[in-house]
Chains A and B, each alone.
Chain A
Amino acid sequence: MAASILKDHIPLTPAVFAILLALADGEKHGYAIMQEAREHTPMGPGTLYGSLDRLLTAGLVEETGLTDDERRRYYRLTPSGRQTLAAETARLEQAAAFARRKGVKPLTGRTAGARA
């Protein structure tokens, strides 16, 4: 992927990062993506499908073509989506390392997680 295309997408919004991350280990349908994404960020169907639509348009996610029925489509990462996710993860790691060097300690327990 060209660096300029990566630059268009990064930094990712928390919702988009959570969606890409949910798809990192394989294809999922919308509701499963939403449930996993909620581990990191608040997300309802409107946010999920709005973001998914933009990710499909940007070519970072694609439909698998498989469907249980009309109400359940499956989505997966494209190679560009996977690279974008890797690039964003690296960016977040760099930011986290920088924060640790400045003496910022991560919170532990439930306060660290986002509420669904």
Chain B
Amino acid sequence: MRTSAKLCLKLYAIALRLYPKSFYARYADEMLEAASLEIAQSHNLPHLTASLLWDNVRSLPRAHWDYAKPKSPVLGIVALSIYTVLVLFQAVSTRRTERGSADVMPAWAARQYSNDCSVAARIQSCADKLASQPRQEITSSSWLNGGGLFIGLYDSAGRAVGGNATLNGTWPQPPHGIFDTIRSRGEFRVTWQPQPGIRVALTGRPLNSGGFVLSGQSLSSTEKYTARTLRILFFGWAMMLAMAVPGTIARARARKRRIASH
């Protein structure tokens, strides 16, 4: 055999290594024999080498698909289930993290005011100070989407004394149950929905005088961000499912045929 023919055959033998191991073990000798006969009869070796290699390139993906793992659909289903659990975990964790981050500023403000306004004599001056600030309206889109902070002072009965924001023109008045919980727990963080479309991350702390300070921030931007993240996660999961399910079914059917034929 000529040197160029030997080189061509060597190249083809190397290319055969790209096939899946089982396929290689089963057919490599036969393929090499066929290529060797082709080469022996060829008058245009470069063209034959190119067509042999091109034939390999075309048939390789299908061979890898046929021999790809997992062979069992059960493994595919397990992998999908694990992926689904991971996506769910990520979704829950995103929700918790984002909701938690919305409490940071209200909690800080509530702590500040509970320290500054705890002496009974100072409550009114605190309320006056708050009232002197430009008053914001909680239902306005500038407050809902602007990241503004609401501070409200309440007496021991839970009645509003003053604040820096109003809800529909009056001091925000959360349900009285909140004050009982603050009294028993010391600090209480809760989501308050004063009316449809308005959700506020609220932190409340007791004052030494017997009153309470409440601080809140709109959840609008946080919830929009969370919803967008969850949509992306869900889209990724659905895409994965759309790709994996037909593959798993095809593999299950192929496996069934393979078992039936042996």
- Give chain A interface residues in 6-63, CB to chain B under 8 Å: 29-31, 34, 43-50, 52-54, 56-59
Q: Among the listed A31, A50, A57, which residue makes an inter-chain contact with B257, where contact means beta carbons less than 8 Å apart?
A: A57
The residue from B23, B26, B55, B60 contacting A45, defined by CB atoms under 8 A apart:
B55
B residues near A30, Cβ cutoff 8 Å: 30-31, 33-34
* Contact between B261 and A56, CB atoms less than 8 A apart: yes
Whether B52 lies near A44 (C-beta < 8 A) is: yes
- By the criterion CB–CB under 8 Å, are A49 and B258 in contact? no
* Contact status B55-A44, CB under 8 Å: yes
With the chains together, A72 CA to B34 CA distance in Å? 9
CB distance A73 to B66 under 8 Å? no
* Most interface-central of A34, A44, A58, A71 (chain B CB within 10 A): A44
Q: Is the CB of A49 within 8 A of B260?
A: no
Q: Smallest CB–CB gap between A74 and chain B, Å?
A: 11
Give Cα A70–Cα B261 distance, bound, in whole angstroms.
Answer: 23
**23 CB-based A-B contacts, threshold 8 Å:** A31-B34, A43-B55, A44-B54, A44-B56, A44-B59, A46-B56, A46-B58, A47-B55, A47-B59, A49-B31, A50-B66, A52-B27, A53-B63, A53-B66, A56-B261, A57-B66, A57-B257, A57-B261, A59-B260, A71-B29, A71-B30, A71-B32, A72-B30
Residues of A at the B interface (CB closer than 8 Å) are 29-31, 34, 43-50, 52-54, 56-59, 70-73
